[in-house]
Amino acid sequence: MIGRFVPAAPRDGATADVRSEISALRVGRLWLTLATSTLLFGGVLAAYSYVVPLLTDRAGVPVGAISLVLVGYGIGALAGTWVGGRLGDARPLATQAGAIAVAGLALVLLQTPLSTSGVAAVALLVLMGVAGQSVPPVSTALAVRFAPGAPTLAYALATSALNVGIAGGSLVGGLALDSTLGLTGPALVGTVMIAAALVPLLALAARRATRDDVG
């Protein structure tokens, strides 16, 4: 699929300059982008990592149907990757703001009596997949754009930020699940993390995000 649909890009044979790569660490907009993606993606994964107990014990979804439900999340994630790639190219900040709104709404609703309905819980899970997976293509593209002289390091940092979000969100989500918060604890943690992602995103918007007027 990748070989069929991704256009070929000519290689100029240039090698990365170590000094240029390291200089990217001084770019404030790069760190704001990384913080946004870490918190946003981590918030979604905080809830998703422990969604099975919520589906079975709270929403009443049969254990035998869980695999099929998770396929639904995967379909949503695939759609989110497409949406992030299409919309994020022209208006990356608006796309990330939309992801925050959609993911935040889904996580809030998972903490309400609405999540006791199996159909509603599954629909919210798919919505989480769409919102969460729209983040990686946008954040990676922004990181490389903000550090044009250090594409290798910027790409590596963008990927690392997502993994930090996964690890951190899963850790705190697990602690919440074992606390008095119970089954909705991971969703609460995710909500807080996603709300916190607004801080670096708004700071990025305040700085006009890029000299190329990225929206």
Query: CB-hemisphere CA count at 13 Å for 52?
Result: 10
Res 44 pLDDT > 70? yes
Global pTM value: 0.86
Instruction: Map residue 177 onto helix, strand or coil.
Output: helix
Long-range (24+ apart) CB contacts under 8 A made by 184-187 are: 184/54, 184/58, 184/110, 184/111, 184/115, 186/46, 186/47, 186/49, 186/50, 186/51, 186/54, 187/46, 187/47, 187/54, 187/107, 187/108, 187/110, 187/111, 187/115
Confidence band, pLDDT 50/70/90 cuts, at residue 88: confident
Confidence band, pLDDT 50/70/90 cuts, at residue 17: low
